A and B are shown apart, each in its own frame.
Chain A
Amino acid sequence: MAKNLLTIEDLILRFYTYEGIVEALDKVNLNIKDGETLGVVGETGCGKTVTGLSTLVLVPPPGKIEEGHILFDKKGKTIDLLSQDEAFLRDIRGEDISMVFQDPRSALNPVYTVLEQISEVFLHHRRREFIEQVLKHPLTGFERKIYEKMLENPESFTLKVISKIPIINRYKRKLKDEISSEVIRVLKEMQISDPKRVVDMYPHELSGGMAQRVVIAIALACNPKLLIADEPTTNLDVTIQLQILNLIRELKRKFGSTIEYITHDLGVVAEMCDRVAVMYAGNIVEIADVMELFKNPLHPYTKALLESIPRPGKEFKSIEGTVPSLINPPKGCRFHERCPYAMEICTKEKPVLKEITKKHSIQCHLY
């Protein structure tokens, strides 16, 4: 029985806006096992993206995480990410947990080349290893002394001064070359056929599919244990989407990453995921193995969602009503206003996530 890599416990998240307090996440409970791909499905506004951002503790103001724990298993030790300081979290981001975003063009900085952006990850997390690599090469006495100094005292004042002087700081090139060859290797892994040409390109020169590969390269550069993918293929053409999905599958096989795949596309979920969590209005309403979920959906929302997939020849089924505003969310179960099976208790009491079988949990008063 694989153990949990990530456990989110009773997470409450609120946004303080002009129009009121948005109860974005309402006691969310989620766990991802080591090595699996968990899909998080839901419509716009259900809270799936902020759940991913919370894991990295990157929720922008006016959002605030009020309560809860996010337990991450780092090399055998369980730590609560919400009680760590910023410096610790910066080390974790990119090294242990990474994120791939929806729009590749806006996830990349338009004024830096591909090489510079991927190098940044290496420079932050793997600086020592690269310096050690450089020291293995034949170096002039001066260069060797500088690199050794970089290893033992990176914050030294002399180093900072020397690195600014124009001709003398050419020693940096050795480090850059070392990183550059690693970047090219990473891009080859991303099935980019001509990495030497791509490294010097700027984001606006890349096509959508290529840009998304670069974003994935940045995320996977240091081989993190957990990859959070937030709708990575939504903005791409369907044939390119196939390429990227195949790529993600291949990379998972090679590196054994655990993936939290956030999307609204049930087809992608059926393709990529082992387990699925369904979210509605800031709650996880159902979690199940993927086969189980599609064959035997229990929660009324999940049922309605699966029924609304367009099928030829049949009429389009839609869900009555609209997603409620989270500023003053409905009392009790947040879905009760649109639920065809709503009962008295649904309007008063919020249901708890209950485990029906080992493979299937649900949050609904019907069970």
Chain B
Amino acid sequence: MSKVSALIETEALKKYYPITGGILRRRVGEVRAVDGVSLNIPKKKCFGLVGESGCGKTTFAKTMIRLLKPNSGHIYFDVPEDIKEEIAKLEQSKKSPKLKKLRAQYDLATFRGKKLKSMRRKMQIVYQDPTRSLNPRMLVKDIVGEPLIVQKLAKGTERRKKTLEILGKVGLTEKHMYRYPHEFSGGQRQRIAIARALVTNPEFVVLDEPTSSVDVSVRSQLLNLFQDLRRELGLTYLFISHDLSIVECIADQVAVMYLGKIVELAETTELYKNPLHPYSLALFSSIPIPDPAVKRKRIELKGEVPSPVNPPKGCRFHPRCSEVIELCRKEEPELIDVGNGHFVACHLFHK
């Protein structure tokens, strides 16, 4: 697939939420938040994930770093290529015991207990709203220092030194350590959250709409910080956002999600220049452009996003698609390579 090795790879990852009803609380249905997503995030790159509310991007990211337990599928974190190939081969020939052993050793979806806990050091997440993601009753130094305690990485003065160091990297000083989160502005709170995520020296950081809750002027400061930190610490990002203009500037590759599935995937410049999937076209055309002189054709989508409890049969987008054909109602399209590292899941491109 890609020449750069993948840091984290998922295969057919699924996450369903059961809906219980009735007196005995039986399972009457499920919310198919993530319905079979296979993604490949290259090392030291920024991978963008876009989509509207309810498409499953946050659920996918949280499942990927095992904050949620997947229902099925596999996650490979920094697994060497030859092991992955071996697993693929074994799957085809169905040799059970060795497959099971390899899976238990390398498949993040199966990890539990101590093994999972030690993996947490390497994967971190920064949430959208820093007011809610920081414990209001904890001092900044404790918030940022806690990962070191829990992961048993540093004690006493060593811990204090590391805390100070990481706070310095995000632009905060010693006097900020002894305050509570509510004494800071939104932008500063987000920096504290970033410091907490980076203090264990992770390799992979999920950024879940990290700039949505802050002001426009602070946004740019944070985005610059993200880029500097990525270069300096060699991080890999998964940048989730519904703000397409920001993703265009910060991500190397972008994937578009709709109702729990990836509908299009390409390098950023390619995708923004040449979106192929009808949903991507509508999505990109609906961004308001801050220039009154530019008038362009806007594609307005009819209707609302359907519920992930009962997704439409066949292609999930077909009820709202302007280019729908008969096949779309029956069969779900697969993600296909149309050249140049550009993947689309649409019957119109199945040639």
Q: Which residues of A are interface residues toward B (Cβ below 8 A)? A: 43-44, 207-210, 237-243, 245-246, 264-271, 290-291, 294-295, 304-306, 308-319, 322-323
Contacts and interface: CB of A to CB of B under 8 A. Distances in A.
Nearest to B213: A44
A295 B244 CA distance: 24
Given A239-B52, A318-B218, A294 B305 contact: no
A237 B216 contact: no
B216 A305 contact: yes
Interface in B244-298: 244-246, 248-250, 268-269, 272, 282-283, 286-294, 298
Given A44-B215, A238-B287, A318-B224, A246 B300 contact: yes
Contact of A294 (B53, B223, B290): B290
A245 B285 CA distance: 13
Contacts of B300: 239, 242-243, 246
B242 interface: yes
24 contacts: A43-B215, A210-B304, A238-B242, A238-B244, A238-B286, A239-B300, A242-B286, A266-B290, A270-B291, A271-B289, A294-B290, A294-B292, A306-B290, A308-B216, A308-B219, A309-B245, A310-B220, A310-B246, A311-B249, A312-B269, A316-B223, A316-B227, A316-B249, A318-B224
Given A208-B53, A242-B301, A319-B220, 8 more contacts: A44-B186, A237-B242, A242-B298, A242-B300, A267-B245, A267-B289, A310-B219, A312-B248
A318 B220 contact: yes
B221 interface: yes
Given A237-B305, A238-B242, A265 B220 contact: no
Interface of B: 52-53, 185-187, 215-221, 223-224, 227, 242, 244-246, 248-250, 268-269, 272, 282-283, 286-294, 298, 300-301, 304-305
B186 to A, nearest CB: 8
Most chain A CB within 10 A, of B186, B217, B282, is at B217
Contacts of A309: 245, 290
A350 to B, nearest CB: 22
The 9 A-B residue pairs with the shortest CB-CB distance in the complex, in nearest-first order = A267-B288, A318-B220, A237-B52, A242-B286, A316-B220, A266-B290, A319-B217, A270-B292, A318-B221
Nearest to B269: A312
Contacts of A308: 216-217, 219-220
A237 B248 contact: no
B287 A267 contact: yes
A209 B305 CA distance: 10
A310 B223 contact: yes
Contact of A323 (B52, B215, B245, B287): B215
A356 B250 CA distance: 39
B291 A294 contact: yes
Given A238-B52, A318-B218, A318-B221, A312 B291 contact: no
A290 B248 CA distance: 25
A271 B288 contact: yes
Given A207-B304, A209-B304, A294-B293, A239 B286 contact: yes
A318 B244 CA distance: 19
A210 B304 CA distance: 9
B240 to A, nearest CB: 14
B286 A241 contact: yes
A43 B215 CA distance: 6
Contacts of A268: 288
Nearest to B293: A291
A239 B269 CA distance: 21
A43 B52 contact: no
Contacts of A269: 290
Contacts of A294: 290-293
A53 to B, nearest CB: 20
A78 B237 CA distance: 58
A250 B293 CA distance: 20
Nearest to B54: A237
A103 to B, nearest CB: 14
Contacts of B293: 291, 294-295
A226 to B, nearest CB: 23
Contacts of B289: 267, 270-271
Contacts of A266: 290
B215 A310 contact: no
A238 B284 CA distance: 9
B229 to A, nearest CB: 13
Contacts of B52: 237-240
A363 B218 CA distance: 24
A23 to B, nearest CB: 18
Contacts of B298: 242, 246
B249 A265 contact: no
Contacts of A317: 220
Contact of B187 (A242, A316, A322): A322
A245 B289 CA distance: 13
B246 to A, nearest CB: 5
Nearest to A245: B288
Nearest to A243: B300
A356 to B, nearest CB: 19
B249 A290 contact: no
B290 A43 contact: no
A104 to B, nearest CB: 14
Contacts of A264: 215-216
Given A210-B304, A238-B52, A239-B283, A270 B218 contact: no
A319 B293 CA distance: 25
